[in-house]
Amino acid sequence: GQNIDQPTEMTATEGAIVQINCTYQTSGFNGLFWYQQHAGEAPTFLSYNVLDGLEEKGRFSSFLSRSKGYSYLLLKELQMKDSASYLCAVPSMNSGYSTLTFGKGTMLLVSP
């Protein structure tokens, strides 16, 4: 089976840095995804990590440690528009890694 844990909610102020953690236990592993979902909208792809280490993409970076079953999403220079839910997801081995299992999401609130 698969289990994905992430904090339910976080708060931060504009201009700050925030780190959203995700831990996972899976049968088999084929990478980890991060999605951003604004209220009432579809999830949008942010990052995919399959190898250990940090991948930077503008203000957003994602880190993976396969040995620890751990990932984080790092958001720098926070803006009000970054207020959203951030979803951690892993491909399911049962489907040949074609489907995703999502964590419950972390609601990030950015305040002025």
Partner 1 sequence: SAVISQKPSRDICQRGTSLTIQCQVDSQVTMMFWYRQQPGQSLTLIATANQGSEATYESGFVIDKFPISRPNLTFSTLTVSNMSPEDSSIYLCSASADTQYFGPGTRLTVL
For residue 98, state whether it binds partner 1 (rule: CB under 8 A). Answer: yes
Stretch that binds partner 1, among 17-25, 59-67, 69-77, 100-108 (CB under 8 A): 100-108
For residue 93, state whether it binds partner 1 (rule: CB under 8 A). Answer: no
Measure Cα distances from 85 to 5, 28, 58 in Å.
14, 26, 19
For residue 104, state whether it binds partner 1 (rule: CB under 8 A). Answer: yes
Joined tokens for residue 84: 């959203």
Q: How far is the CB of 98 from partner 1 (least distance, A)?
A: 5
Cβ-proximal residues to 18 (8 Å cutoff; 6+ apart), any chain: 10, 12, 74, 75, 78, 108
Of 48, 55, 66, 70, which lies in the binding site for partner 1, with binding defined by CB under 8 A?
Answer: 48
Cβ-proximal residues to 85 (8 Å cutoff; 6+ apart), any chain: 36, 37, 38, 39, 105, 106, 107, 108
Joined tokens for residue 51: 């190898």
Contact string (CB under 8 A) for partner 1, positions 6-35, x = contact = ---------------------------x-x
**By C-beta, is 37 or 61 nearer to partner 1?**
37
Site of interaction with partner 1 (CB under 8 A): 33, 35, 40-45, 48, 87, 89, 95, 98-105
